[in-house]
């Protein structure tokens, strides 16, 4: 019998999972996901050596509970004798109360449910997976790992809004997100380049959800995301930064209620809304439509603008890092973001960027530019091991 750690990252229609052998450091055994939950579910998984363990649809019906049952059955078949000692969960919002991983019990779960309005696209599904795992693995420790936790030590000026102070005390503050990714990538940067890892870095987490984080000596100093995961950069379907007056206008002059505005900002905006074509950066890059090019141009313009602002927060820049789906895979986006940043010491090696090399900056550039694959599952597993 082997003691294992299972990690779960549940979205609205998917569950990403990974299985690790417990030990001094987690050793990956398998990784995969169930996608299309509730519509056209499909289970995909590979072993650590790349061998395909599953890649097939299953009958529609059921929700996250059914998906977790499929994951459990796969683990039992592929790894006979495996025993899950702890389940680590990505939970997007920890609110003002949770700044580190925590073992989940009924009281913790109830508290986390109160943060669902802060992250309506994520929190309910994160917690649905926690409840399903509690039922499936009653003897395992259930461990919540928070995307907001990495940012909790940021300076007060990066943590607050210019509202009456009572709102900050009540929890209305800049939480920041993608913290599990920033945790891994900042540590990986320090491992690869200790000098710059101790210095001033901006990490660009660019995917369907997108944000930037300014980091100095491994500490978060500021982020583009705020109270919710709507703020900052435009995303696949989320608007990013917007004048609050636009929302007042939509309410008073267009008669839109909170639900309609929420649907607009979370589901109909960003790349999808700007292009009218797709929320997928790959589809926009492949399109000849001018609207697709304008959407990509707006995205990269906003990334450049936020890099400039965060560099000012840091008082300069030593390293710029691209990560997540777009950041790791789109040479076009990386080139467009960096094209006008020569004034701050950023210059790319075009061939290295096109090849997706680990270091894509020109050899003589003062700022070193990296492409680092993120691994949120490993961060979750490392935390869960401590509770096993």
Active site residues: 147
Spatial separation of the C-alpha atoms in residues 306 and 213, rounded to whole Å? 10
The contacts found for 342-349 with CB under 8 angstroms, 24 or more apart, are 344/308, 344/311, 344/316, 344/317, 345/317, 346/317, 346/320
Query: Which candidate, 74, 41, 44, 43, places its Cα nearest to that of 60?
Result: 41
Sheet holding 319-323, edge to edge: 219-223, 210-216, 200-206, 319-323, 368-371
With H, G, I as helix, E, B as strand and everything else as coil, classify residue 335: helix
Spatial separation of the C-alpha atoms in residues 300 and 292, rounded to whole Å? 13
In contact, 8 and 133? CB cutoff 8 Å: yes
Give the E-state strand segments of 312-374 in sequence order.
Answer: 319-323, 368-371
What residues have CB less than 8 Å from 373, skipping those under 6 apart? Answer: 323, 328
Residue 178: left (phi > 0), alpha (psi -120 to 50), or beta?
left
* Cα diameter, the chain: 64
- Cα atoms found within 13 Å of the Cα of residue 200, Cβ hemisphere only: 15
């Amino acid at each position: 019998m082997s003691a294992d750690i299972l990690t779960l990252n549940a979205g609205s229609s998917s569950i990403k999972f990974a299985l690790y052998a417990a030990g001094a450091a987690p050793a990956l055994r398998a990784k995969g996901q169930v996608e299309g939950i509730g519509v056209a579910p499909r289970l995909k998984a590979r072993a650590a050596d790349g061998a395909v363990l599953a890649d097939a649809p299953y009958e529609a019906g059921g929700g996250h509970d059914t998906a977790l049952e499929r994951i459990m059955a796969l683990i039992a078949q592929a790894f006979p004798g495996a025993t899950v000692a702890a389940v680590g969960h990505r939970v997007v919002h920890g609110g003002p109360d949770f700044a580190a991983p925590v073992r989940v019990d009924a009281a913790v779960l109830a508290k986390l449910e109160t943060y669902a309005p802060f992250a309506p696209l994520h929190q309910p599904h994160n917690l649905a997976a926690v409840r399903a795992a509690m039922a499936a693995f009653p003897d395992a420790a259930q461990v919540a790992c928070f995307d907001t936790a990495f940012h909790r030590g940021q300076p007060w000026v990066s943590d607050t809004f210019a509202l009456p102070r009572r709102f900050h005390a009540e929890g209305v503050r800049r939480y920041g997100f993608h913290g599990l990714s920033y945790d891994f990538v900042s540590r990986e940067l320090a491992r690869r380049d200790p000098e710059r890892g101790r210095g001033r870095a901006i990490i660009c987490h660019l995917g369907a959800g997108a944000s930037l984080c300014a980091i100095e000596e491994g500490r978060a100093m500021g982020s583009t995301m705020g109270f919710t995961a709507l703020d900052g950069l435009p995303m696949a379907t989320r608007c990013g930064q917007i004048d609050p007056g636009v929302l007042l206008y939509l309410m008073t002059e267009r008669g839109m209620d909170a639900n309609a505005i929420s649907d607009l900002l979370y589901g109909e905006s960003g790349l999808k809304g700007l292009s009218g074509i797709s929320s997928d950066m790959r589809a926009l890059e492949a399109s000849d439509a001018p609207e697709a090019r304008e959407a990509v141009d707006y995205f990269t313009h906003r990334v450049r603008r936020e890099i400039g602002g965060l560099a000012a927060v840091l008082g300069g820049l030593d390293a710029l890092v691209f990560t997540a789906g777009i950041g790791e895979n789109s040479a076009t986006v990386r080139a467009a973001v960096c094209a006008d940043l020569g004034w701050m010491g950023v210059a790319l090696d075009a061939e290295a960027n096109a090849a997706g090399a680990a270091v894509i900056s020109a050899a003589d550039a003062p700022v070193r530019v990296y492409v680092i694959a993120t691994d949120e599952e490993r961060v979750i597993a490392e935390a869960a091991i401590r509770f096993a």
